Amino acid sequence: MKEGWHLKKYNAIEVPEKEVREAIRAGIRKAGLSVSKKKRRKTGPLLLSAAAAALILASGIFLSPVADALAKVPFIGQLYGNFDDLVGKHLESQQLITRLNQSAADKGIKVKITSAYYDGAILGATFDVNGKVKGNGSDPPYAFYEIFGGDERISDSKELVRLEPKGKGFTGHIRLYYPASDLPENATFPLAFKAIGETEGEWKFNVPVEQLPYEKLKMDKAVSKQGIRIHFDSMIVGKASTAIDYTAIFPKGGEENQVRLEIYDDDGEIKSLMDGIDLEVKKEGQQVIVKGRTIILRPLNGDRPSLTVYPKVALAGEDPNEPLELEPFRIDFK
């Protein structure tokens, strides 16, 4: 190492060796599962056009009455207490989580979906795992799952989730955003587990969800700088989350640009955000048009809160921590 320059400081970064090995193993496992999946299906184009989105929705999400499938009794318990899911925790405290009891078994392992919620543009579910779960070492095992058929045009459609011990088995949690501008009232989302711990298999579900009451507010605010324009279209105010929908127009080559919103309410900066969700990307002449969404993952404070939004754009090829800053604006709920 050159000059020993700051080497002492660098080497003082303690390495959690066991966790590093586990992370390497999990990465290899994720890659292996992606490869076996890829061999079975053709991959689609990288850009998600409106037509492609419609196709995904037609093939992936089934709009249907779900009243029979849903148990109407609100669930009271501590399902979300152990997970990093503020929306789930808030809804649970308001008894707005729906209890489910869907099971699938394969290779001596039973997976049971225990609850789900659908608030504004965000969905969540919990599940239990019981049976012959083989881990790798002494750490809790992972489950590998796909949503919407693992469609690669939807980010986060394939994920590894860490299972937490629960009784004689394990429990886990999934959270996802609805991948389209228009939100159906009732839907089912296809969910398939492809591996539980070291065991590969198939545990398939169509998870029924019913959207909680929400308010849709029209916005008409635009900001622009350096050839980039963001128009804020609407807000979806749910029981424990709020989605802000926008249309961003970038110059040609800006497909990888990413809109980020820094949002403040009366209590300060809101840190719990799911940001930069691309719902549709299309090219028109010399422009790239992105329909996107940012979701605030907690209820807004107060009955008539006000928000201040600082729009930023992380430019492709530039340091993502030094985004282009556009003019801030305020939203009043009056």
Residues comprising the chain, all counted: 334
2 contributes a contact to another protein by CB under 8 A: yes
314 contributes a contact to another protein by CB under 8 A: yes
Q: How many Cβ atoms are within 10 Å of 33's Cβ, its own excluded?
A: 19
As a whole number of Å, the end-to-end CA separation of the chain is: 61
Number of residues that bind another protein (CB under 8 A): 45
6 contributes a contact to another protein by CB under 8 A: yes
The beta-strand segments (E) located in 178-305 are 186-196, 199-210, 215-225, 228-237, 242-251, 258-265, 268-269, 273-284, 287-296
On whether the CB atoms of residues 88 and 175 are closer than 8 A, the answer is: yes
Tell which residue, 95, 64, 63, 56, has the closest CA to residue 78.
Answer: 95
Closer of 11 and 94 to another protein (Cβ): 11
- Residue of 220, 267, 284, 319 interacting with another protein (CB under 8 A): 319
- Residue of 25, 110, 229, 282 interacting with another protein (CB under 8 A): 25
- Residue of 132, 134, 271, 283 interacting with another protein (CB under 8 A): 271
Give the range of 26-34, 183-191, 228-236, 282-290 binding another protein by CB under 8 A.
26-34
Give me 247's structure tokens. 């249309």
Q: How far is the CB of 318 from another protein (least distance, A)?
A: 7
1 contributes a contact to another protein by CB under 8 A: yes
Which x/- pattern, by CB under 8 A, does the window 87-126 give for another protein?
A: ----------------------------------------
Calpha distance 286→288 (Å, rounded) = 7
Tell which residue, 305, 303, 292, 309, has the closest CA to residue 332.
Answer: 305
φ/ψ of 52, rounded to 5, equals -65, -40
46 contributes a contact to another protein by CB under 8 A: no
Residues 276-305 that bind another protein (CB under 8 A): 276
On whether the CB atoms of residues 189 and 208 are closer than 8 A, the answer is: no
CB proximity list for 83: less than 8 A, separation 6 or greater: 126, 173
- Residue of 43, 101, 138, 321 interacting with another protein (CB under 8 A): 321
15 contributes a contact to another protein by CB under 8 A: yes
φ/ψ of 184, rounded to 5, equals -75, 155
Residues 130-189 that bind another protein (CB under 8 A): 160
Calpha distance 91→239 (Å, rounded) = 7
Q: How far is the CB of 19 from another protein (least distance, A)?
A: 6
Q: How far is the CB of 23 from another protein (least distance, A)?
A: 4
Tell which residue, 151, 94, 160, 87, has the closest CA to residue 125.
Answer: 87
Tell which residue, 296, 298, 306, 295, has the closest CA to residue 334.
Answer: 306
Q: How far is the CB of 145 from another protein (least distance, A)?
A: 15
Closer of 7 and 217 to another protein (Cβ): 7
Closer of 112 and 158 to another protein (Cβ): 158
Closer of 20 and 51 to another protein (Cβ): 20
Q: How far is the CB of 46 from another protein (least distance, A)?
A: 15
Residues 240-269 that bind another protein (CB under 8 A): 258, 260, 262
Calpha distance 43→153 (Å, rounded) = 9
67 contributes a contact to another protein by CB under 8 A: no
Give me 325's structure tokens. 């800053």
13 contributes a contact to another protein by CB under 8 A: yes
Q: How far is the CB of 35 from another protein (least distance, A)?
A: 7
**Chain residues that interact with another protein, rule: CB under 8 A:** 1-3, 5-17, 19-28, 30-32, 34-35, 160, 258, 260, 262, 271, 273, 275-276, 314, 318-322
